[in-house]
A and B are shown apart, each in its own frame.
Chain A
Amino acid sequence: EIVLTQSPATLSLSPGERATLSCRVSQSVGTQLAWYQQKPGQAPRLLIDDASKRATGIPARFSGSGSGTDFTLTISSLEVEDFAVYYCQQRNSWPLTFGGGTKVEIK
């Protein structure tokens, strides 16, 4: 099973700041990695697929990068609505697996 390790577990930032979230994968998944945002009481929402392709309707302040085993989600300037939990997920092999999540909280 491919293990995804997200860091940090919690990121405390202020609106307007830049957020950098990491996802390290136990074996190469090429670019078959996605990022999701989840707010309390809501279902996850797809942000990024194929490591760097924004999903439909996702603002340009969200960007993804990386390949192989190291991936990054960057939020260039945090809006109030961006404070949430973020998960990475690989779709390279079974079972499909998610990282443990990074919570982005208001400082």
Chain B
Amino acid sequence: EVQLVESGGGLVQPGGSLRLSCAASGFTFSTHAMDWVRQAPGRGLEWVSEISGSGIYKQYRDSVKGRFTIFRDNAKSSLYLQMNSLWAEDTAIYYCARRQVISTMSNGAFDIWGRGTMVTVSS
């Protein structure tokens, strides 16, 4: 079964750090770009970051650049998000999501999602 399972969320004080993990199974992890998408309580979906299958290429939304780092370990079929200098505005459920492979040069939509891990930034 194709599956993504996030972990590492919790309560952290403003300015603190957390590392999220996403364990993948049931597919060839290294062939897919992977993303983090978040959802603040009662709000819509917000894309956070993407990493290519090789791990070479990375993209971030402006509000997390310089604070968040996405990385992966293909040998362990795992995706990570290191989050530093957390703000209250980062409070959200963080979802790990797989990009569909359309071709070697193109990725499709998010076809597989984990159940999410909650991050709460509060004093």
Chain A residues proximal to chain B, CB less than 8 Å: 34, 36, 38, 42-46, 49-50, 55-56, 87, 89, 91, 94-101
Contact = CB atoms under 8 A, between A and B. Distances in A.
B50 interface: yes
19 contacts: A34-B108, A36-B110, A43-B95, A44-B95, A44-B110, A44-B113, A45-B113, A46-B109, A46-B110, A49-B111, A56-B111, A89-B109, A91-B107, A95-B59, A95-B62, A96-B35, A96-B47, A98-B47, A99-B44
Most B Cβ at <10 Å: residue of A96, A98, A101:
A96
A27 B22 CA distance: 33
B33 to A, nearest CB: 11
B44 A43 contact: no
Contacts, number: 55
B114 A43 contact: yes
Contacts of A101: 44-45
Majority secondary structure, B binding face? strand
Interface residues of B, number: 20
A43 B116 contact: yes
Contacts of B45: 36, 38, 44, 87, 89, 98, 101
B4 to A, nearest CB: 9
B90 to A, nearest CB: 16
Contacts of A98: 44-47
Contact of B44 (A50, A56, A87): A87
Contact of B111 (A42, A55, A95, A96): A55
A94 B109 contact: no
The 8 closest A-B pairs by CB, nearest first: A34-B109, A43-B113, A49-B109, A96-B47, A98-B45, A95-B61, A46-B111, A101-B44
A89 to B, nearest CB: 7
A80 B95 CA distance: 26
Contacts of A99: 44
Nearest to A43: B113
Given A87-B45, A100-B44, 20 more contacts: A34-B109, A34-B110, A36-B110, A42-B115, A43-B95, A44-B110, A46-B109, A46-B110, A50-B108, A87-B44, A89-B47, A89-B109, A89-B110, A91-B107, A91-B108, A95-B47, A95-B59, A95-B61, A96-B50, A98-B45
